[in-house]
Amino acid sequence: LRFKNGAEDWPRSFHGTRKLVIHHTAVKGSNGVTDLEKNKEAVRSIYYYHAYTQGWGDIGYNALVDGAGNVYEGRYGTHEGARRENPTAEQIMVPDVEAGHTAGYNQGSFGVAAMGDFTRFNVPTAQLEGLKKVLTYVADERGVNVQGNSDFRRYDGSWHLGLNNLIGHRDATATACPGEKLYEKVQEIKNSVDSFLLHNLSGLSGTLNGLDIESKKVEMGILNFSWDTFADEDTQQVASNYQYLLERVYGKVGVASDTQTWETAWFYPGTITDKTSVQIDLSKLESNFNYVFYVRALDSLGKPLSTVKHINFETGEIFISEPPQPDETLPVISIVSPQEGETISGNVYIDTQATDNVGIEKVEFYINNSLIGEDNVTPYNFDWDTKTLSDGVATIAVKAYDLSGNQSGAGIGVIIDNPEPDTEDPTIPADLTAVNISENQVTLNWVASGDNVAVAGYNIYRNGTKVGDASANDYQDSNLMPETVYSYAVSAFDQAGNESEKSNIVEVKTLISSNQAPVVDILSPGVEAQVSGVVLISAKATDSDGSVENMKVYVDGVWMVTKDGGVMEYNFNTRKVSLGKHIIEVTAEDNQGKIGSAQTVIYRIK
């Protein structure tokens, strides 16, 4: 920092970071420079130009990244009283300090500059990764949704509507910065940063008398803020609480420094609620100021589950209003079904109808004065298993709670009459036999079982393991192996899940396969041929009860080549084997998987 007469030349002020801005320094001499000492010298030059030549008192960027990916602190942000002998990352890289990188947008933004001129020069990979890292750090610290957008109030009091939360300098003001080659990388940077961040809270709205207040001026009444219930997209973890805070960003147009010296949005703990809506009385705020309402989801330990969502609005001349009257209106609830005195059994939905002048928070369900569940989403109902109670009279009661804590209830009486459970097993299937036995399948028949209610089906066991079920008293088991012994048994089961004992066991041996293997004829070389150099291995194969799928050549048991069909011609280089005797084998496989083969012997003589 530069001081004059013992005071900061550029006094620090702080505003919750909501926008991230990418720049380049536009100095070609820094293009791709990885030497640390040269880059330090370049940062000192930038400091001198900004602090002395321009008279700003410090570097205008919040951070800088050199060609090697090293990150440098720009605008000094450590608040009063903090020591810097052994600084932490948070003390060095303070996201919320107001810098001077984007005219009109410096309050509430963080600007990072890539050192170099990227009008035509491609951004080095290491430098691009450095930009991603520093932006990920700031976005994570302040919960910025880098793929989102929101309205932003400029220093002159005007609004930039729908400004993206991560931008290139040219998206805010008329400039070529950050250069064409770096600007091309903005979406890639967004995607990379977003991949490291929490999921986004959605559905935030702010209204006054039913009208949207985003980027509007408000003067009297109660502001209502509400948002959607948050559930993590990956883990489905639902937020336990929500943290919200109202920040006064800056005051009247043209006033450079806010009277509040430290306004980091999450520097103060904020307020915790387990609801998805809050109300703020405008009479408690100051006139003619810009405010930002922030909210994010928390887990049961108080750790953030989501990014931060925010709404901007401006106050006019605040009129002191009467304090809001307490809500004393009770919710109204009734049981729609079942009906009073109705006889019920099995699983029954308890359906209710609940209304309130403010809103229903939840409905609780009671059976015989014991709480069995609750529902906080309309329509409010509960699936009750009546079999958990004995037959007879039971009372159903419900309680509705509104957002102000008021409650009311309703109740009815019903009669539970569940049928006696079926515990009787079906009779054992009799006379299990096997027919139509082939090489790969068998058909089973048996005498049907009986049951006190009805037989639902039969379980089929092969070699002691269940392999299927049948609705009638026969079953065909397929895909068996030829010439193999299998043992079978069946049992009967009913709708209640009762299963009989297994039937008699029948053993079956599948038939011998009728498929014949292909016949292979080696045409050349001849038996005990003396060969050298390259020799043609020629063969053909035929199949009497199918077709030849492929043929293969092996030399001394080592596979050489595979060809489709029943003709093989292969030029074998005998120099791959030693002098002397060698065995050539040719195989053929048919369309049913049968393999035939033939062999011949050759002698390599040179």
Task: Tell me: pLDDT of 216 over 90.
Answer: no
Q: Tokens representing 190?
A: 């967004």
Lowest mean pLDDT among 12-16, 450-454, 510-514: 12-16
At residue 188 the predicted structure's pLDDT band, cuts being 50, 70 and 90, is very high
pLDDT digits (tens, 9 = 90+) for 108-149: 899 999 999 999 999 999 999 999 999 998 888 888 888 888
Question: Mean pLDDT over residues 361-377, rounded?
Answer: 94
Question: Mean pLDDT over residues 349-376, rounded?
Answer: 94
Q: Tokens representing 520?
A: 């292979």
CB atoms within 10 A of CB 99: 26
Q: Phi, psi at residue 435, to the nearest 5°?
A: -135, 170
| The pLDDT value given to residue 259 | 41
Contact 565, 551 (CB under 8 A): yes
Question: Mean pLDDT over residues 387-399, rounded?
Answer: 95
Question: Mean pLDDT over residues 204-215, rounded?
Answer: 87
| Domain 3-195, CATH class in plain words | alpha beta
CA dist 174 → 79, 169, 170, 171, 435 (Å)? 32, 8, 6, 8, 88
Task: Tell me: pLDDT of 431 over 70.
Answer: yes
Rounded Cα gap, residues 442 and 431, in angstroms: 16
User: Domain 519-604, what fold?
Assistant: Immunoglobulin-like (2.60.40)
Rounded Cα gap, residues 93 and 72, in angstroms: 9
CB atoms within 10 A of CB 170: 17
Task: Tell me: pLDDT of 407 over 80.
Answer: yes
Higher pLDDT, 510 or 318: 510
H helix runs in 184-225, sequence order: 186-195
At residue 77 the predicted structure's pLDDT band, cuts being 50, 70 and 90, is confident
Q: Phi, psi at residue 236, to the nearest 5°?
A: 65, 15
| The pLDDT value given to residue 248 | 73
**Assigned superfamily of 430-509:** Immunoglobulins (2.60.40.10)
Listed by start position, the domains of the chain span 3-195, 205-315, 332-416, 430-509, 519-604
Q: Tokens representing 549?
A: 């799928």
pLDDT digits (tens, 9 = 90+) for 356-365: 988 899 999 9
Task: Tell me: pLDDT of 85 over 60.
Answer: no
Task: Tell me: pLDDT of 321 over 50.
Answer: no
Is the Cα torsion angle 62, 67, 71, 76 positive or negative in sign? negative
Task: Tell me: pLDDT of 79 over 90.
Answer: no
Average pLDDT, the chain: 87
Contact 201, 227 (CB under 8 A): yes
| The pLDDT value given to residue 88 | 58
pLDDT digits (tens, 9 = 90+) for 256-289: 344 443 344 444 456 889 999 999 888 888 777 7
Instruction: Say what percent of the chain tops pLDDT 70.
Output: 91
At residue 355 the predicted structure's pLDDT band, cuts being 50, 70 and 90, is very high
Lowest mean pLDDT among 273-282, 318-327, 333-342, 470-479: 318-327
Q: Report cis status (omega within 30 of 0) of the bond before 525.
A: yes
At residue 83 the predicted structure's pLDDT band, cuts being 50, 70 and 90, is very low
Instruction: Say what percent of the chain tops pLDDT 90.
Output: 59
CATH fold match for the domains 205-315 and 332-416: yes
- Strands 595-604, 529-531: pairing is parallel
Give the predicted TM-score (pTM) of the model. 0.49
H helix runs in 403-560, sequence order: none
pLDDT digits (tens, 9 = 90+) for 15-48: 878 899 999 999 999 999 999 999 999 999 999 9
SS3 of 94, please?
coil
Q: Tokens representing 175?
A: 């400039």
Higher pLDDT, 290 or 86: 290
User: Domain 332-416 is of which CATH architecture?
Assistant: Sandwich (2.60)
Contact 200, 306 (CB under 8 A): yes
| The pLDDT value given to residue 470 | 96
| DSSP-assigned letter for residue 156 | T
CB atoms within 10 A of CB 557: 7
Contact 574, 531 (CB under 8 A): yes
At residue 542 the predicted structure's pLDDT band, cuts being 50, 70 and 90, is very high
Higher pLDDT, 238 or 234: 238
| Domain 205-315, CATH class in plain words | mainly beta
Q: Tokens representing 358?
A: 């403010």
